[in-house]
Amino acid sequence: MAIFVDKNTKVIVQGLTGGQGRFHGLRNRDYGTKIVGGVTPGKGGENVEGIPVYNSVKEAVAATGATASFIVVPPKFAPAAIMEAAEGGITFIVCITEGIPAHDEAVTYNRLVEEFPGVRLLGPNCPGIITPGQCNIGITSGDIALPGGPVGIVSRSGTLTYQALHELSKQGIGQTTCVGIGGDPVPGTNFIDCLAAFEADPETKAVMMIGEIGGSEEERAAEWIKTNMTKPVVSYIAGGTAPAGRKMGHAGAIISGSKGTAQAKMDALAAAGVHVCLNPTEAGEKMVEIVRGL
């Protein structure tokens, strides 16, 4: 099985006619993802290498039966694109756009929660999601993912998402689904959302969780794991040497006072029974050890 997306997921690409939308949309299609349409206002009736383009999400959903959308548009257009997807009938939205103001992210997220409770947003500013061998929505390279499970991956960092996949695949350990939730202050999908989905998935036997400094999502996840998770979790927290008060890469990766430090997160996870590792390679090795012992 998989979480959120699988071989049957029909996907439209909002921004398919743009340079990045075309590149990643066709790359996802070539992986095997069911890219059934694109959306660019004013370009309805055109096509991108055989993929039909529609003027609106509503029109695209009516014509194709799509349930997922891949948003590849500039920051100033992304909030409106997210809302158009929800209003058009899409239930799973992946937005990779970075640089969206935090205020706009918060307003958009709150609108989704209040007006469209059945819609899930992944991102913004994330690498997307891949269920190896079935569906890839985003910018993750399918070459480093290995089908067949039994490990689920959730990560705030895009680069470390790729490394987690690579560390497991090179050891012959497959993945059920790998979710990059992104590192912005207002993520549409968080650690707990993914952990709960992996806990409910019978084919996921263990979970790798990659966090980073800033915010309190990892501590919240630790509390959830302590009371709800029955499957082993391996974790790595990036940013252990980051100085306080300085933003490191992601907008959400900033330490404020005593909150958000790597050590605080590691301590909370360890107290919850998580196998906490000091680098990505060690995390991969620990997961291999756990899987081979199942």
- Give me the active site residues, please: 250
Q: Is 165 helix (H, G, I), strand (E, B) or coil?
A: helix
β-pairing verdict for 10-14 and 68-71: parallel
Spatial CB neighbours of 210, under 8 Å, sequence gap ≥ 6: 153, 154, 155, 156, 157, 160, 161, 164, 235, 236, 237, 238, 280, 283
Handedness of CA 286, 213, 194, 77 (dihedral sign): negative
Measured distance CA(257)–CA(90) in Å, rounded: 40
